A and B are shown apart, each in its own frame.
Chain A
Amino acid sequence: MSRNPLSSLSAEQLRERFIGIAMEQGDALLGGATRTFNRLYGQMREIELELKSRPSDQRSVLLTLLDHPNLAVRWKAALATAAISPQAAREALESVARSGEMPIAGHAGMNLHNLVTGFAKPT
């Protein structure tokens, strides 16, 4: 059985990778590159799952990103931490949606709508 390469990285290293991917996703949305965004979505999901699998669910290392200067990072961190810190994540999503910086604000607004209505159930 092959070993997951992410399992050899520290939580801090995974966090840094998360930031890089989020920023690339933001650029992809800005450029209308949905294929790039979707490819990166898979990579980010692997990082989230790796952190979640670690003792005490180490997605908590992403909480500091809710104040990151980059809008895309804040948005993706909010989605990734919605299950472990719902209130902080929701406030971060509200902030991103209110920024009006499209298209990310539109995406965040839809995520927020789905959270508020109960359609989205973060795990």
Chain B
Amino acid sequence: MDFVTDLRTKAARERAWLIGDQNWMRQWLLERASAAHGSKLETKSQFGATCLAIAAAHAPDLVRKAISLHYLTEPRVPRGSGEESGRWTRLAGDVPGLGHNQGPPLDEKPKIPSRRPDKSEHRTESVKRALRFLRLRGAGALLSLIQASPWLAEYQADILAAHVAPDTLENLQADGSKPAAGYERHHIVEQTPAEKDGFSRAQIDSPENLVRIPRIIHRDISAWYSTGNPDYGGNSPRDYLRGKTWEERRSVGLQALRLFGVLKP
């Protein structure tokens, strides 16, 4: 791509980001990926890191694809170099624009087992610690965790989905019935208690009541509904809401989405 074309593309890119045109961003990233594949190793690596930063900042749903590109383009130790063969030559942390990503000091890394824990509870705990680390240190730090604990890659989509910024209710509802890796369909008014209390499935499953949210946060919100809470006399919020109106259930559901970081305030 020559300089003039790139300039026009840059102006078009900024416009696309301003108006949230994710289709344009997606096309641009894919076209640049094709161009980079024929380039020198240093260009490929810089391109991979740049994609990661841009995707994280402007197109969160493309972060997973950007990380895959980064895997492909990051320089590795050549074959035949003993134990180090095939490993990335540096921590995958040099991502411009995401803060100090030179790789965190080892004593700040969360303790995550290198082998996949047998118990679901321990896996969940590790995944949430990895998510927290991602939020503190950026995408490069997450890559370093995955490198040390390869089983975490199975949860990469979940972790990245939970890292996105809060969105509007309209956008969350628009995606309500569209499946996506790392996301789950969530009923703002919990479906099972509402059905038991006589609300119709039509109302429960209406687009107004459905949003698509990150799986990790979905589980956290469900746990909040299930746990004893002094605000509700020691009962769980779910038990408190039995017999309550649809409006009160919806109000609580929306507030939970806000305070668990999914819905914009």
Q: Which residues of A contact B154 (CB under 8 A)?
A: none
User: Are A100 and B261 in touch, CB under 8 angstroms?
Assistant: yes
User: Are B223 and A29 in touch, CB under 8 angstroms?
Assistant: yes
Whole-angstrom distance from the CB of B20 to the nearest CB of chain A?
24
- Within B125-175, the residues touching A (CB, 8 Å) are 125, 128-129, 131-132, 135
User: Are B121 and A31 in touch, CB under 8 angstroms?
Assistant: yes
In-complex Cβ contact of B124 among A31, A38, A101 (8 A): A31
Binds B, one of A2-10, A12-20, A59-67, A114-122: A114-122
In-complex Cβ contact of B217 among A30, A42, A45, A102 (8 A): A102
Q: Which residues of B contact A109 (CB under 8 A)?
A: 259-260
Q: Which residues of B contact A79 (CB under 8 A)?
A: 230
Q: Which residue of A lies closest to B119 (CB)?
A: A31
Interchain CA distance A102-B128 in the complex, whole Å: 8
In-complex Cβ contact of A111 among B121, B231, B234 (8 A): B231
**Most interface-central of A29, A37, A115 (chain B CB within 10 A):** A29
In-complex Cβ contact of B220 among A102, A115, A120, A122 (8 A): A102
User: Are A34 and B226 in touch, CB under 8 angstroms?
Assistant: yes
Does A27 make an interface contact (CB < 8 A)? Answer: yes
Whole-angstrom distance from the CB of B118 to the nearest CB of chain A?
13
Q: Which residues of B contact A122 (CB under 8 A)?
A: 230
Q: Which residues of B contact A101 (CB under 8 A)?
A: 132
In-complex Cβ contact of A103 among B129, B224, B229, B237 (8 A): B224
Q: Which residues of B contact A27 (CB under 8 A)?
A: 125
Does A33 make an interface contact (CB < 8 A)? Answer: yes
Whole-angstrom distance from the CB of A36 to the nearest CB of chain B?
8
Does A113 make an interface contact (CB < 8 A)? Answer: yes
- Known contacts A31-B124, A102-B128, A106-B221; decide if A113 and B255 are in contact (CB<8 Å): yes
Does B122 make an interface contact (CB < 8 A)? Answer: yes
- Known contacts A30-B125, A32-B219, A33-B121; decide if A106 and B231 are in contact (CB<8 Å): no
In-complex Cβ contact of B234 among A45, A103, A115, A119 (8 A): A45
Q: Which residue of A lies closest to B226 (CB)?
A: A34
**Lowest 6 CB-CB distances: which A-B pairs, in order?**
A109-B259, A31-B121, A41-B228, A103-B220, A106-B260, A120-B231
Seen from chain A, the residues whose Cβ lies within 8 Å of a Cβ on chain B are 27, 29-34, 37-38, 41-42, 45, 79, 97, 100-103, 106-107, 109-111, 113-115, 119-120, 122
